[in-house]
Structure formats: C-alpha cells, structure tokens
Amino acid sequence: MSTGSNPAEEQSGGKTRWPRYFFYSLGALFAILYLGFTLASIYYTPKKYPVFTTFAGFFNSNESVITVLFITLVVVYTAFFFLVRATTVSKKIFVIGIAFAVLFSALLILSPPFMSVDLYGYIFRAEIVNTHNVNPYVVTPADLGYESEVPWAQTNMKYGPLYTVISMGLQRVSGSELSAELTVFRLFNILLFFGSAFFIFKAVRSIIPRFSRAATLLFLWNPFLLIELVHNGHNDVMILFCIVLSFYALVQKKYFLAIIVLVFGFLIKFLTIFLIPIVLLMLMRDKKPTKWKLKQLLLICVVSIVPIALFYLPFQNFNDNVGNLGRAYFANYKLTFVKAIMNGATNITTDVLNINPVSVDGLMNIHLIVFVIGYLIILFYPKKQGQIYDGKRFFWILLLALSIIANMNNIWYSVVLFPLVLFTTDKYYYPIILMLTLSGFIFYIESNLGANTLLMVMLLVYLFILRLISSKKYSFGIISFGKEL
C-alpha cells in the first residue's frame, strides 16, 4: 500500500477545469471523424462480393483515407487523454461526454463492418443453427454446404455455449435480413459497452473517487474500443463486461457475485477462468469468520454447476464440447505471439543468413513453464492482510493468459485490458491505454501480425521498466494493490 498520497488522485483531482468550448470541439471533431470512417466503410465494402470477403474491401482498396482517419483519431484521443487526466470533469461535462459517446456509437453502426469478418461469422452460424437445428459443436457449416458463404466454415463452434445461445436468440429476434441482423447484434454490443462503462464508473469511484468520471470518459471515447466493439461487433465485449462487473463485485466484497459472473464469462470464452482463483483467494483472506467463508465456498461450488449444466446440456456431447473448446484455447498455445516472434527470427536467419530454421517447440514449452510460474507468483505473492484492491493483479494475469492463448495476434483480444488499467492507482500505467490503442490501428494498417507483435513486445518491456520504477517509489509495486478501501 502506498505510504504517501495517491498519484492517481493527485493527477485527476486538480482544480483545473476544461478549457471553454474545447471539450465540445473535441467531441464534434470525433463525431466528424467517425462519420468519415462510416462513409469510408460504405465506400470500401464490396457490393456484389460474398459477404465473407468484405475483409478484402479494406485491404484491396486505397488505404490512404483509412490511414489518415486512424492517425487523426489516435492524435485527437491522445490530446483528449492528457486533457482528461489533468482536469476535473464536472457532472455537466460528464453527462455531455456520455451523450457524445452515444452519438459515436450511432454513427458507427450506420455502415456494415468492413475490417473484420467475425460479426458475419457470428450471424451466419447462429442462422444456420436456428434453421437446421444442429449442434454447432459437432456439425460445421461446411458439412451443411455453406463452405463458400460462412467464415471458418470447416471449423466447429469455438465459443462457449452461453454465447451460442445468445447469438441464436439475437438472430431469431432480427430475422434473416442481413442489415437487421448486423444492427441487432451491434445494438446488443452497445448495451454491454455502456453497461461496462457504468460499472467502470462504480468501481473507480470506490477506489479513486475523483478519477471516476475521467476514467469512464477515457473508456467511452476510445476510438479503438468503439471501432472494435461497436463497428466490428466483436463478441469480446461480453468478456469485457463480465470482467468489469466481477471486479466491481470484488471491490464490494460480493465474492459470490464475482465468481458467478466469471463463470458466465467462462461460458463465452475461457479467458475468465484465470481470474476465478483471485476471487477465491480474496475470499479466504477476508477477515470474516471461517464458518462464513466455508459456506460461501460451498454455495459458490454448488451454484456454479447450475449455469454450466444449463448451457451445455442442450448441445449434448458435453465431453466433446469441452474437448473442442479446451483444445482451441489451451492445447494450441504454440500459436501465440511468442511463437510469432520466434518464427520471425527464424525466417530472418533463413532468408538473410541462409541458416536452416530450428524448431521452437522446446522454447514454447519453456514459455508454458514461465506462464505457470508467473501466474502463481502474481496470484500468491506478496501476501497481504486485509482487503486492498487494484486492477494490477487482474491486468497481469490476463496479460499472461493472453500470451498463451491461441491467436493472441488478434489485437481485439486486448480490449479486456483497457478497464483494468483504469482500475489501477498507479498513474504510470495509464499510458498503456495509448499503446494498446496505437497497436490496434497499426494492426489494421499494416494488415499483418508483425506490427502488433512488435508493439506487444514493447508493452512488455515498458511494464518491466515500470516495475523497476514503481518498486523503488511506491510500496505497492507491480502485483500488490494500491488503495485500501
């Protein structure tokens, strides 16, 4: 725990006010940029191609317009970021800022997604399941003759049964008209996006009261989050919502709610399973009587079984389903960005130095060992008495988990890290938001995984240096917590 004043409160609780009309000008400029992005989306999306090829609408077209829009969005958001951190956000400005965020979301759903095929994959798979009444964990779209119409048609459903049920429900509500389906799915994302913002506000208000409004606006106005979660419609917003709600419940010492929310997240993607031990550990370290803790543990174990059974049983073949998802998220750890770095180095030695490539399997096994050791260190060290909460432990565990889960190079997976940075009490963590935002846009502009991998390495280096700095200046360091409630 920090022995001095809280640096986050110092930098977010000053008397400086927003420059007159500057906030409104930034909001208007963002709205114009999002409108330009929407128009570019409509222009670049092929009209007569099969829907799943819309990804080519971006990469096969002149990228200069999109690149300029991305650069401008990053620059404007960076100015907004430093302005928010240095000023006091009044209630009036906060309400207007939320209204601007609603406007941004409305603009971004006016055009079809053209930077990712994922949303089309969600929609078409749900429609196929609803139409043919098949088990998506056993039957693939290719098995039903949709090989040329659905992204990843040869693969089984790779998300948990809760998301399958949700996507089926959204598709039934919207019908079979593609424009209606896109709108309904993205409206659902918007609901979860603003729901996440609400619990970010509530959680930060419990940790750093004077930073709560600023943190919420930094989340709601982030262009990378808006484009990924609203425009592209990635289902990672569901995981983000579960993580934020769980963290808020943990801050309120509502351990049962925190666990159940993470169980629901597990039923969407496996990522939240890594966070469950944190809540259990906090429960065991609570100062309440041992008898109460044991009752809570028993209740958690019993109640957690219910949603798992409820959502898996309709799809039958429980063991096969768990096996498919388990292999997708754990056994394929050799497809992570760490291996991408190693393969890149191997390619260089082969092409430039004419050296035969070497196997990296052994090094990847070392990576797995490092992950396990790092996870245990973050989870159990240092041992603290009392209840001290901060987002760093969540942040580091999820960063480790993302490093070992297949397809980490899909930069939109990193959206779950944004709110956890806002939950920290260390102001040196906040620039990570800008780094993640920049890496997201470079990923699309470069249209390859190398740029994203490089920036993720830079992020890890920055965090390592940050550890050295914070360990000397602040007693809460890298994995301890910053503010006692």
Residue 74 neighbours by CB distance under 10 Å: 18
Q: Is the pLDDT of residue 465 over 70?
A: yes
Per-residue pLDDT tens for 195-244? 999 999 999 998 888 889 999 999 999 999 999 999 999 999 999 999 99
d(Cα 450, Cα 344) in Å, to the nearest integer? 8
d(Cα 98, Cα 217) in Å, to the nearest integer? 7
From 58-72, 97-111, 256-270, the region with the lowest mean pLDDT: 58-72
Q: Is the pLDDT of residue 12 over 50?
A: no
Q: Is the pLDDT of residue 284 over 90?
A: no
Per-residue pLDDT tens for 368-402? 677 778 888 888 776 554 445 668 888 888 888 87
Q: What is the mean pLDDT of residues 437-450?
A: 70
Q: Is the pLDDT of residue 36 over 70?
A: yes
Q: Which of 110-119, 149-158, 269-278 has the highest mean pLDDT?
A: 269-278
The pLDDT, as a whole number, for residue 22 is 84
The pLDDT, as a whole number, for residue 241 is 97
- DSSP state string for 228-280: IIIIS--THHHHHHHHHHHHHHHHTT-HHHHHHHHHHHHTT-GGGGGTHHHHH
Whether 238 and 193 have beta carbons less than 8 Å apart is answered as: no
Per-residue pLDDT tens for 289-318? 888 888 888 888 888 888 887 777 777 654
Nearest to 96 by CA among 16, 28, 197: 28
287: confidence class by pLDDT, cuts 50, 70, 90: confident
Q: Which of 40-44, 73-77, 80-84 has the highest mean pLDDT?
A: 73-77
The pLDDT, as a whole number, for residue 222 is 96
Q: Decide the pairing of beta strands 388-389 and 483-484.
A: antiparallel
The better pLDDT of the pair 147, 200 is held by: 200
Per-residue pLDDT tens for 113-131? 877 788 888 988 888 888 8
The better pLDDT of the pair 383, 163 is held by: 163
Q: Which residue has the tokens 């430093």?
A: 82
Q: Is 484 helix (H, G, I), strand (E, B) or coil?
A: strand
Q: pLDDT > 90: what percent of the chain?
A: 25
The pLDDT, as a whole number, for residue 271 is 84
Beta bridge partners, 483, equal 389
The better pLDDT of the pair 469, 174 is held by: 174
The better pLDDT of the pair 326, 230 is held by: 230
The better pLDDT of the pair 363, 374 is held by: 374
Q: What is the mean pLDDT of residues 432-452?
A: 73
The better pLDDT of the pair 247, 161 is held by: 247
The pLDDT, as a whole number, for residue 103 is 96
Query: Taking all residues of the chain, what is their mean pLDDT, rounded to a whole number?
Result: 76
Q: What is the mean pLDDT of residues 89-95?
A: 89
